Structure 1
Amino acid sequence: MASNRDITLFHSPNTRSTGALILLDELGAPHTLKVLNMKAGEQRQPAYLAINPMGKVPAILHGDALITEQVAIFLHLADLFPEAGLAPALDDPLRGPYLRWMVFYSSCFEPAVVDVALKREPAPQAMSPYGSAEAVFDALSGQLRRGPYMLGDRFTAADVLWGMALAWTVGFQLVPERPEFMDYIARVTARPSFAKVKAQDAERAAAHAAAAGA
């Protein structure tokens, strides 16, 4: 059986895996970091495709178990370190809402934002996984107005996920600058873990660009 110390994160700076790295810091979780230089195409090389054939980060190995997909990684890690208090327990009334908003990110928010970014019309209502981008943003706004965090007064792994997601998508003008979004981004990204990983990623990104001749 793998111990909680037997965790390897495959990471590249300024990608979705940045959130996983922040979560590990919030959890106080010991881990091994394997950094990929995406500017050099390392994520498409056979060595990493053997880990994740999709050529994407994040991915983690927990012992011999491979976990890909950002939300799955967040759920796994937060449950693995219950003492950190970042995941409601199975018998906690907040467990269902926690799972709802974690999965809402990947099942509704990301597809909607990709369509917005590519200026694509959503699929017909009966086929669309998210309905409309406006409906997604409205649902998220309504939840955040209950604040200060996604589940009210309690900070959880969901806030690491959503804090990163909204900071990036609002920054790229894919999501409107609604007051509840801006306040939430400021609140969550002010945590020390965000500043710490951001600084580390800036150094990694500079080194990768230099190595790739960019």
Structure 2
Amino acid sequence: MILYHSPHTRSSSTIALLHELGLFDAVEIRVVTVRRGDGSGHADPANAHPEGKVPYLVDGDEHIRERGAIFTYLCEKTPQAGFAPQPGAPGRGAFLSWMAYYQGVMEPVMVATILGLATDGFASTFRGRDEITAELRRALDRGDYLLGDRYSAADLLVASPYLWLPDFVPDDGVIKAWLERCAARESLAQTAAYDSTLIADMT
């Protein structure tokens, strides 16, 4: 498998996932340049992603984009890691729901809010920060993590924007405690060190 990655981007959570699954040394990581929100960077012709984004996973003839899909695919490839409920297992529906909810609701709401684009029409379709906070709280009232008492790929994905944008963290003690548990994972420290090395090599 080949993962196209750029340091300190959304792709970094996929590097953390590789660490969690024991795949970091088994996947070829191709470091590419991407256009960034501050106007820096550029599209990299070496990037296989059709839109020049990251992450992008290639596994033979399979090309997978969007983190929710990549996370699900990699977890299914490594069921022995126990990092997500497999097809037919209890909790599978909740896991898939969080993968889709993150991509289809959470990230659009966060981006629209940051850019000041969250109109009434947008809110009627995607809802807003308060509804996302309520969804998180409902799940965390049932356990330490989104799927219960065990950290999973759902926590890694859903927590990632809050760890990147602390000003977006809700003023909720239960959610803050969950984020602290997520932030303490060794995989995140490993990813930060790896990305820092890449940045140093690129400058």
Aligned: 1:167 with 2:167: no
**Letter paired with 1:158:** A
SS in 2 for 1:23: helix
- Distance in structure 2 (CA, Å) of the matches to 1:95 and 1:19: 21
TM-superposed deviation, 1:166 = 2.1
1:194 paired to 2:188? yes
In structure 2, stretches of 5+ residues that fail to align are none
Out of 141, 144, 151, which is 2:137 matched to? 141
Q: 1:199 to 1:45 in 2, by over 3 A?
A: closer
2:27 maps to amino acid = H
**Structure-2 residue corresponding to 1:3:** none
- Tell me how large the CA RMSD over aligned residues is: 1.9
SS of the equivalent of 2:143 reads: coil
Q: Distance in 2 between matches of 1:21 and 1:45?
A: 19
- Please state how far the C-alpha of 1:121 moved relative to its aligned partner: 2.8
Correspondence for 2:44: 45
Structure 1 outlier segments of 4+, above 3 Å: 37-42
1:152 is paired with a residue whose SS is coil
| 1:10 lines up with 2:4 in the alignment | yes
Structure 1 pair 52/38, CA: closer, same or farther in 2 (3 Å)? closer
User: What is the identity, as a one-letter code, of the residue corresponding to 1:153?
Assistant: D
Corresponding residue for residue 65 of structure 2:
68
Measured in 2, the distance between the counterparts of 1:161 and 1:34 equals 21
Structure 2 Cα separation of the partners of residues 125 and 17 of structure 1: 26
Query: Counterpart in 1 of 2:201?
Result: 207
1:67 aligns to what SS in structure 2?
Answer: strand
**TM-score, normalised relative to structure 2:** 0.89
Change (3 A) 1:119 1:174: farther
Distance 1:141 1:167 in 2: 17
**1:4 equivalent in structure 2:** none
SS of the aligned residue for 2:98 comes to helix
Q: Judge conservation of contact 2:169–2:176 (CA < 8 Å) in 1.
A: no
Q: Does structure 2 conserve the Cα–Cα contact (< 8 Å) formed by 1:117 and 1:174?
A: no
Query: Residue in 1 aligned with 2:82?
Result: 85
Deviations 1:159-202 (A, max 9, x none): 21123222113x2x134242122211111121111111111112
Give the residue type in structure 2 aligned to 1:154: R
> Are the equivalent residues in 2 in contact too, given 1:125–1:131 (CA < 8 A)?
yes
Tell me the secondary structure at the aligned position of residue 86 of structure 2: coil
Identity value in percent: 36
SS of 2:170's partner is coil
CA distance in 1, matches of 2:46, 2:2: 15
Q: Distance in 1 between matches of 2:171 and 2:195?
A: 25
Partner SS for 1:46: coil
Deviation at 1:122, TM superposition (A): 3.1
Please, what TM-score do these two structures have when normalized by structure 1? 0.84
The one-letter amino acid of 2:88's match is D
Q: Please give the alpha-carbon distance, in whole angstroms, between the structure 2 residues aligned to 1:195 and 1:126.
A: 35
